Amino acid sequence: MPEPIVVLRWVIVLAVLLGIFFYLTLKRHRSIRIVYNLLMKANLILMYPVGFVLLFLFPLWIGIWIGFEIVIAMTGRMDLVLPPFYLNLENLVDLLTPYAAGLMAIFIIALRLPAGLLKEGTKISYEKFGRLQWWGRATRSMKERWQWLPTVQGLFMPYLSEKAGRGEIRGVSPTANAGEDEYKIAHALADHFNVPVFMQASDFAEMDHRDTERKGLVDFKYIPGLDAGELPLVLDRPVHFIWDMKGYLWYNATTFNPFKKRKRTNEALEMYHSLLEDDGIILIDAAVRRTTLQVLNEIIISFVPWMFYYGEGSTFDRVASVIRRRSDLFSVQLAGEGKYRIAIIQKHTIGVARREAV
Ligand SMILES: C[S@@+](CC[C@H](N)C(=O)[O-])C[C@H]1O[C@@H](n2cnc3c(N)ncnc32)[C@H](O)[C@@H]1O
């Protein structure tokens, strides 16, 4: 059996080669993406026990070990110490670290990095076999159990009543996943206000989705494969509301680089501002965070299409600091409680007042 450190060296070399291979091929070949996605899941299965050992069991072991050292120092009696704690700490670190580091290297260099560097990385994770393939299905059925959508509709509908009074409501959801919620919202608005509703949903990842349909007062349109950034090219009229649950704003604010985060979120906000009617609103999720449940659900959702709480923080958590600085464009209000909380980001009419004055 080779020394753990030798194994680690070879694992890192392999991870780098695999990472380069994936980086060059992921975009073009669907079959390679399937292999990549399956490897990602297999690696996640390995990573969780390693994370559990490193973050929980290992510190616990060290704590007890220190406790026993104190007992030995005070009593001079080795027989009070349990056998696993005779192990020398340095040996244990020598043994564990290379294997844990090897797994991390595969996870980060070979798997996370290539997709992360590619613009298509997010898209790939929501595809069939992708790490987040089941996100939409699991989240929707969880929210159905909670009666989430009817509750949240009650929170934002009052903001649309004046628009309905003008004879029509137009909404867009550029990161709609399967478009199921958007379809329901459109029908709920038409039933409630008894006016024609135009709702456009789209998503850049390939997946089963609601089809375009005209029914009663609702004109529902689903555009598959559309990048939210290209929304200005396909929308011919400004909309009254933008539904963006863990979508475009969330992803633009998801980067470790705080400058990039601010720049990208600002650009997304400015794009949304240009697509909205005066007084129009952006609706984002703002559920109150429950970190332990979140981590647990993030693990569950990687393997089965079911969960019992959100597996990630809210959009509001991620973008609040940037939005609050853009009081020139929007004002923000929170509505609802706990898991039903949403943020209503309303476009200012100051611009209009200025234009009218001129
Ligand atoms: C976390 S899911 C949220 C889906 C949906 N809004 C919901 O609440 O059920 C994020 C979705 O956004 C899509 N997405 C992320 N960035 C996108 C972009 N730039 N353009 C289009 N879709 C995007 C993903 O494909 C995925 O379906």
Q: Categorize the per-residue pLDDT at 106 as very low, low, confident or very high, splitting at 50, 70 and 90.
A: confident
> Which residue among 119, 120, 122 has the greatest number of ligand 1 atoms within 8 angstroms of its CB, and so is best to mutate?
122
| Spacing of C-alpha 150 from chain mean position | 22
Angle at 328 between CA 327 and CA 330, to 5 degrees: 55
pTM to 2 decimal places? 0.81
User: CA-to-CA distance for 220 and 211, rounded, in angstroms?
Assistant: 8
Q: 134 or 193: which carries more pLDDT confidence? A: 193
pLDDT digits 0-9 by tens, 253-273: 988 788 889 999 999 999 999
Q: Categorize the per-residue pLDDT at 356 as very low, low, confident or very high, splitting at 50, 70 and 90.
A: very low
Q: Give the closest residue (by CA) to ligand 1 atom 1.
A: 246
CA of 251 relative to ligand 1 center, distance in Å? 8
pLDDT digits 0-9 by tens, 317-342: 999 999 989 999 999 999 999 999 99
When pLDDT is averaged across residues 161-183 and rounded to a whole number, the result is: 95
CA of 122 relative to ligand 1 center, distance in Å? 9
Q: Categorize the per-residue pLDDT at 120 as very low, low, confident or very high, splitting at 50, 70 and 90.
A: confident
Asked if the model's pLDDT at residue 47 lies above 80, the reply is no
When pLDDT is averaged across residues 120-130 and rounded to a whole number, the result is: 87
pLDDT digits 0-9 by tens, 59-97: 777 777 788 778 778 887 766 666 655 556 666 666 667
Q: Give the closest residue (by CA) to ligand 1 atom 3.
A: 246
CA of 126 relative to ligand 1 center, distance in Å? 8
Q: Give the closest residue (by CA) to ligand 1 atom 25.
A: 205
CA of 332 relative to ligand 1 center, distance in Å? 22
pLDDT digits 0-9 by tens, 205-231: 988 999 999 999 999 999 999 999 999
CA of 64 relative to ligand 1 center, distance in Å? 45
User: CA-to-CA distance for 110 and 304, rounded, in angstroms?
Assistant: 24
**Ligand 1 binding residues, C-beta < 6 A:** 122-123, 126, 135-136, 139, 174-177, 181, 203-205, 227-229, 245-248, 251
pLDDT at 292: 82
Q: Which domains does the chain carry?
A: 4-126 (no CATH), 135-357 (3.40.50.150)
Report how far apart, in Å, the C-alpha atoms of 106 and of each of 11, 58, 102 are: 7, 21, 6
User: CA-to-CA distance for 74 and 281, rounded, in angstroms?
Assistant: 67
Report the SS3 class of residue 305.
coil
List of residues 6+ apart from 333 with CB closer than 8 A: 343, 344, 346
pLDDT at 85: 57
CA of 240 relative to ligand 1 center, distance in Å? 20
